[in-house]
Amino acid sequence: MECTNRQDAGLYAALFIALVPSIISRGVAGSYDNEAVAIWALLNTFYLWIKSCNTGSISWSILCTLNYFYMVASWGGYSFIINIIPVFVLGTMFIGKFNIKIYVAYSVFYTLGTILSLLIIFVNYQVMRSAEHLASHITFVAVNVYILADYVRKNLKADQIKSILNLAVWVLGLGFIGLFGFLTVSGKSKISGRVMSLIDPSYANDHMPLVASVAEHSPTKWVNYFNDLNFIIIFVPIGLYYSLVHKPTHGKLFLAIYCVFATYFSCAMIRLMLVLAPAVCILAAVAVSHLVGKASKSIRLAIIGKKIQEEDSVTFRPSLKQKITPEVGVLIILLVTFCLKHFVVHSTMIS
């Protein structure tokens, strides 16, 4: 709802998440392990983050950070959040969608989130030393430089701005490379084996054979995707289209980034299907919402369109133009109904 402003999409997403085998297997059926509460914290953090970006409210940003703190305390997968949010912020800067609302949201999230993470024993000073958190530090510096550059651009001449920006890019680029190289070589900051096994699927086999021998750490096969997600996976490309091409918003852009990153990580490790499942459910819900909405509208116009035209004193209104025929609309609804029925039956049997 926060991403698309479509209530029916929210209801479809709730249905899919309630039944999808990936979440059930690690949640209720998983004997209430860490992931049972962590997935709720993950989704709630993302929801509050999008809310913060849409409103620019400090209050929503603080709530988002508190949910992130709960995620840090409950599961080591919190590193997914502290990397995907900075990537989203950097992405908005590159495509020209960055604004002061995102700046406020990220400044509060980064500052308060870093302080709170220091309170968790198993994280502690890894916040500053670990390469897993490096993206958040770089992004915090980048957004402040971006805001400063925007202020300079509005108050200096073009040639002065160009010289300052060129100098800033070189200084920052070389500074980050030098700092990262020093911390990595000196051993004060290094990429953990857990992260390396996600980036490079062959890393665990070569360096951590014991970890690689665990079944849930093995790469995901195609049959696992269909077994865990079933027919809703075929709606994901359509959902991505409506997120990136059809009236894109910050929420839709975040959904697309979340799906792409989660898909890659789930390919490397089968247990991370748990992280991919919510993205698939939400994007599938967006697709089903649009498909059913357009199909039902074509049928509705075919039934009552002539009557409305006769009652109107004006000619055709733009809202009455049909993009698809009623026959195609009926076919779309039948196909969607078949897929969703099969998903419900399959999920019930898996449970």
pLDDT digits (tens, 9 = 90+) for 223-233: 888 888 888 88
Q: What is the mean pLDDT of the chain?
A: 80
User: What band does 235 get if pLDDT is binned at 50, 70 and 90?
Assistant: very high
Over residues 61-109, the pLDDT tens digits come to 999 999 999 999 888 888 889 889 999 998 888 888 888 999 999 999 9
Over residues 7-29, the pLDDT tens digits come to 888 899 999 988 888 888 777 66
Residue scoring higher pLDDT (151 or 250): 250
pTM tops 0.85: no
Say what the pLDDT of residue 265 is: 84
Residue 182 has pLDDT above 80, yes or no: no
Residue 242 has pLDDT above 50, yes or no: yes
Residue 306 has pLDDT above 80, yes or no: no
Say what the pLDDT of residue 126 is: 78
Burial bucket for residue 39 (CB in 10 Å: 0-12, 13-18, 19+): buried
Alpha-carbon gap, residue 295 to 299, rounded angstroms: 7
Which range (35-39, 172-176, 192-196, 313-317) has the least confidence? 313-317
Over residues 265-293, the pLDDT tens digits come to 888 788 788 889 899 999 999 999 989 98
Residues with Cβ < 8 Å from 320, sequence gap 6 or more? 301, 305, 308, 309
User: What band does 141 get if pLDDT is binned at 50, 70 and 90?
Assistant: confident
Mean per-residue pLDDT for 300-307? Answer: 71
Residue 60 has pLDDT above 90, yes or no: yes
Residues with Cβ < 8 Å from 229, sequence gap 6 or more? 20, 21, 22, 273, 277, 280
Q: Domains of the chain: which residue ranges?
A: 7-130+192-231+244-276
User: What band does 112 get if pLDDT is binned at 50, 70 and 90?
Assistant: very high
* Token output for 174: 């070389």
Say what the pLDDT of residue 134 is: 81
Say what the pLDDT of residue 110 is: 93
Burial bucket for residue 112 (CB in 10 Å: 0-12, 13-18, 19+): middle
Residue 30 has pLDDT above 60, yes or no: no
Residue 324 has pLDDT above 60, yes or no: yes
Q: How many CB atoms lie within 10 A of CB 48?
A: 22
Which range (17-21, 310-314, 339-343) has the least confidence? 310-314
Say what the pLDDT of residue 203 is: 57
Query: Amino acid identity, residue 269?
Result: M
Mean per-residue pLDDT for 296-300? Answer: 83
User: What band does 315 get if pLDDT is binned at 50, 70 and 90?
Assistant: very low
Residue scoring higher pLDDT (323 or 85): 85
Confirm if 236 and 282 have CB atoms less than 8 A apart: no
Mean per-residue pLDDT for 203-226? Answer: 68
